[in-house]
A and B are shown apart, each in its own frame.
Chain A
Amino acid sequence: MFRNILNKGRRLAGLGGLVAALTVAAPAMAQDKEPIVFGGSIPLSGVFAFAGIHIHAGLTDYTDWINSEGGINGHQVKYVMEDTAYEVDRSVAAFKKISGSESPATYYGDSTGFMKAIASELNSQGNTLMSGASFATALTDNEQYPYQFIPGPNYSQMFGIILEYIASQGEGGDMPTVAFVYSDTEFGKDPIENGKARAAELGIAVVEDIVTKPGSVDVSSEILKLRRVRPDYVVFHGYVLSPINEFMVQMRQMGLDTKFMGTFWSSDKLIIDKMGADADGYMGVMPYNYYDSEESGPMLDALRAQAEKSDPEADYRPTGYMQAWFNAMVWTEVIKRTLDADKELTADNMAEALASIEDWDTGGIIGIPVTVRDMSFPVGRIWRVNAEAGRYEPVSDWIHLD
């Protein structure tokens, strides 16, 4: 652009010089302002490392991108993290270390356990807003967790979106039946009671309710129970891959025409990559567009360009990456709103800025404008696996819960 201006003649030479000077000076001015710190307890090793690696990549790439855009209101962003191995005590230690030395404005928590454990300290410090990998329903309790938010719908809201979709599939007044299958963990049990209540409101019968031990090696007996009740839909929660594959394969071997659905962490492309053709027809609720979806938008395009730039070899970015990027987007929006209102970056001010988000255009990360409700973004869409194409495709409109 500068070349065009300068080529137009001497009359514009002075103007060109001014613009060039400002361009050179701008980063220096930005660097004069104190950097804003994004902190993170990130599970780069341990049981959640498969997602933690991509969460870290998402936060790193977003930080690089926002800094290349001039930072937040002229403040450069610094991302500081520690590996936690997905252990609560290590996450707490990482938080103490980072908050002691860097005063992060926002922080990524790697688990519900950590976010609950750190709540009292976070509340007493009052200068950090936290979100992270958790979509736990409990964290949307503003009384207990005023400085924590969910970067999407919480697990109960995800069940709500799934159940609304199932209800819409009822034909001739016949509501489909559903079974819930979940892991025997805090994560797995989170949405079950609310899910049953919502199903009852919609007139959907929950015909079976199966809990499996985490890392279960054999689920034959659970599948035999489902064979007897023959649900129209099975909704999984609290798993990443196994035993979803076993349920799907064995129930199809039995000749059942049940459809299978899952929540956020059960709806990554990993299921397609590992299950192949057996994954066909599996459906998941996802608050963000998939990296390889046909959707576009300025922010989604920027995400893809940054991902391509940071690792040209990787042709796909998992949902953990998208989720981390969205977390950082919300942090940026909240910090910007707070600074624009000439307020200090305290947890109270940032929580207030978060609550003010209404009809926010996320630039294609989420397909419709979103509004914060009770520190969460209760929006999502149902996507179905097309195994032949090797990706999820949308089968519902975006559903925004009130």
Chain B
Amino acid sequence: MDWMFFGEISLAGLAMGGLYALIALGFVIIYKATRVINFAIGEIMMFAAYLFLAFAGGMEMSAWIALPLAVIGGSLLGGVIEKTMIRPMLGESPISVVMVTIGIASILVGLVEFIWTADPQLLPSFLPREPVFIGDLYLAPKIAYGFLIGSAVLIVYLLYFRFSRGGVALRATASDQAAAYSMGINVRRVFNMAWVFGSLAASLAGVLVAATGGLSPQFGIIGLSVLVVVIVGGLDSILGALIAGVFIGWLETVAGAYFGGEYRMPATFLVLAVILVIRPYGLFGTHEIERV
């Protein structure tokens, strides 16, 4: 066995998994606080990546100004969606809310096709292009720097949720909405905050992933493939999203390298099937017991 090759592809897979973890984080934050499975997460990623394209490409801003603007734009979009389309659905059946998120996804696809056309796009290059070597192991620069930026944001998120008032309010609401409400937490505001923060993570991941793999109105499909990550990790577990994201990224890459690209998805879905059989609520998800 060529251990050098195994090391290089493992490194590439782990780095890509870091970006999956960031997308999964966006998914989980929204679900954890609001119990809404947001099928529009991929399209929010896409919209933010197009905003980056507009700022850095069309308006020729510095990429380091365009990046935060695009991410803020994506997170504001999440907040607006929650306030105008999800909040009125409070109390409705979960299926109805899911259908609304699917509808939002379609609207966003139509919107970007209208504004930026259906042409495939490449984002202006903003990450260093020099190859990265860790020891003798090669790592593609976009993946390496994307991983570093993503990891930094993940750490900030974890610290925020652990120590800030907003983070505590979000965790309290996630664990018991009624109790949080009775303790004076503004639950509606927490819902909105969850959408803003979830969309922010997804938006950053959107720009970083699009910088690597290109952008088109169909880019949002990636959000659905990350559904595997969140189900494996547990829909309401931030730790699960991080671990499952990195693991699925690694598995997908190793399966693709050794068995061929057509085995990437079967490998991850095999893991999904096994996890659903053994732990239907995911590796780190909450096992809810309903007593009749």
Interface-lining segment among A241-249, A283-291, A327-335: A241-249
Per-residue interface assignment for chain A, residues 223 to 244, with 1 indicating a CB less than 8 Å from any chain B CB and 0 otherwise: 1110110000000000011110
Per-residue interface assignment for chain A, residues 350 to 383, with 1 indicating a CB less than 8 Å from any chain B CB and 0 otherwise: 0000000000000000000000000000000000
A227–B5 alpha-carbon span in the complex (Å) = 10
Residues of A within 8 A of B121 (CB): 274
Of the candidates A45, A242, A243, the one having the most CB atoms from chain B within 10 angstroms of its own CB is A242
- Closest-CB distance, A204 to chain B (whole angstroms): 21
With an 8 A cutoff between CB atoms, is B239 at the interface? no
Residues of A within 8 A of B8 (CB): 221, 224
With an 8 A cutoff between CB atoms, is A119 at the interface? no
Of the candidates B9, B120, B129, B212, the one having the most CB atoms from chain A within 10 angstroms of its own CB is B120
Residues of A within 8 A of B217 (CB): 47, 49
A241–B217 alpha-carbon span in the complex (Å) = 14
Asked whether A47 lies within 8 Å of B218 as measured between CB atoms, the reply is yes
List residues of B (11-38) whose CB comes within 8 Å of A's CBs: 12-13, 16, 19
- Closest-CB distance, B245 to chain A (whole angstroms): 13
Residues of B within 8 A of A45 (CB): 113, 118
A257–B14 alpha-carbon span in the complex (Å) = 28
Query: Which residue of the partner chain, among A215, A222, A240, A249, contacts B257 with CB atoms under 8 Å?
Result: A222
Residues of B within 8 A of A241 (CB): 120, 122, 214
A114–B141 alpha-carbon span in the complex (Å) = 41
A46–B117 alpha-carbon span in the complex (Å) = 11
Closest Cβ neighbor of A211 among chain B residues:
B261
Query: Which residue of the partner chain, among A215, A228, A243, A253, contacts B221 with CB atoms under 8 Å?
Result: A215
List residues of B (183-231) whose CB comes within 8 Å of A's CBs: 209, 212-214, 216-219, 221-222
- Closest-CB distance, A273 to chain B (whole angstroms): 9
Asked whether A220 lies within 8 Å of B262 as measured between CB atoms, the reply is no
With an 8 A cutoff between CB atoms, is A184 at the interface? yes
Asked whether A53 lies within 8 Å of B118 as measured between CB atoms, the reply is yes
Asked whether B138 lies within 8 Å of A224 as measured between CB atoms, the reply is yes
List residues of B (138-164) whose CB comes within 8 Å of A's CBs: 138-141, 143
- Closest-CB distance, B17 to chain A (whole angstroms): 10
Of the candidates B117, B139, B143, B213, the one having the most CB atoms from chain A within 10 angstroms of its own CB is B213
Closest Cβ neighbor of A185 among chain B residues:
B262
Closest Cβ neighbor of A52 among chain B residues:
B118
Asked whether A184 lies within 8 Å of B261 as measured between CB atoms, the reply is yes
Residues of B within 8 A of A215 (CB): 213, 218-219, 221-222
Query: Which residue of the partner chain, among A46, A50, A210, A254, contacts B138 with CB atoms under 8 Å?
Result: A254
Query: Which residue of the partner chain, among A49, A217, A249, A270, contacts B222 with CB atoms under 8 Å?
Result: A217
Asked whether B140 lies within 8 Å of A223 as measured between CB atoms, the reply is yes
Asked whether B262 lies within 8 Å of A213 as measured between CB atoms, the reply is yes
What is the interface residue range for chain A against chain B? 35 or more
A1–B222 alpha-carbon span in the complex (Å) = 63
Closest Cβ neighbor of B249 among chain A residues:
A218
With an 8 A cutoff between CB atoms, is A250 at the interface? yes
- Closest-CB distance, A358 to chain B (whole angstroms): 38
Asked whether B214 lies within 8 Å of A242 as measured between CB atoms, the reply is yes
Of the candidates A211, A217, A275, the one having the most CB atoms from chain B within 10 angstroms of its own CB is A217
Asked whether B118 lies within 8 Å of A224 as measured between CB atoms, the reply is no
- Closest-CB distance, A261 to chain B (whole angstroms): 19
With an 8 A cutoff between CB atoms, is B75 at the interface? no
Asked whether A221 lies within 8 Å of B257 as measured between CB atoms, the reply is yes
Closest Cβ neighbor of B131 among chain A residues:
A253
List residues of B (215-261) whose CB comes within 8 Å of A's CBs: 216-219, 221-222, 253-254, 256-257, 260-261
A48–B212 alpha-carbon span in the complex (Å) = 21
Asked whether A221 lies within 8 Å of B212 as measured between CB atoms, the reply is no
Asked whether A275 lies within 8 Å of B122 as measured between CB atoms, the reply is yes
Query: Which residue of the partner chain, among B118, B209, B219, B253, contacts A221 with CB atoms under 8 Å?
Result: B253
A241–B265 alpha-carbon span in the complex (Å) = 22
Query: Which residue of the partner chain, among B140, B209, B219, B264, contacts A220 with CB atoms under 8 Å?
Result: B140
Residues of A within 8 A of B264 (CB): 213
Residues of A within 8 A of B221 (CB): 215
Query: Which residue of the partner chain, among A47, A213, A240, A245, contacts B261 with CB atoms under 8 Å?
Result: A213
With an 8 A cutoff between CB atoms, is A293 at the interface? no
Asked whether B120 lies within 8 Å of A50 as measured between CB atoms, the reply is yes
Asked whether A211 lies within 8 Å of B120 as measured between CB atoms, the reply is no
Q: Knowing that A221-B8, A270-B120 are A-B contacts, what are 9 other residue pairs whose CB atoms are under 8 Å apart, sorted by A's residue number?
A: A53-B118, A217-B19, A218-B12, A218-B253, A221-B257, A228-B5, A242-B122, A246-B212, A253-B130
A-B contact pairs, 27 of them (CB 8 A): A50-B119, A50-B120, A53-B117, A53-B118, A212-B256, A212-B261, A213-B261, A213-B262, A216-B261, A217-B19, A217-B222, A218-B16, A218-B212, A220-B12, A220-B16, A221-B9, A221-B257, A222-B257, A222-B261, A224-B138, A228-B5, A241-B122, A241-B214, A243-B214, A253-B131, A254-B131, A270-B119
- Across the A-B interface, give the 5 residue pairs with the lowest CB-CB distance, nearest first: A242-B214, A49-B118, A217-B213, A220-B12, A221-B257
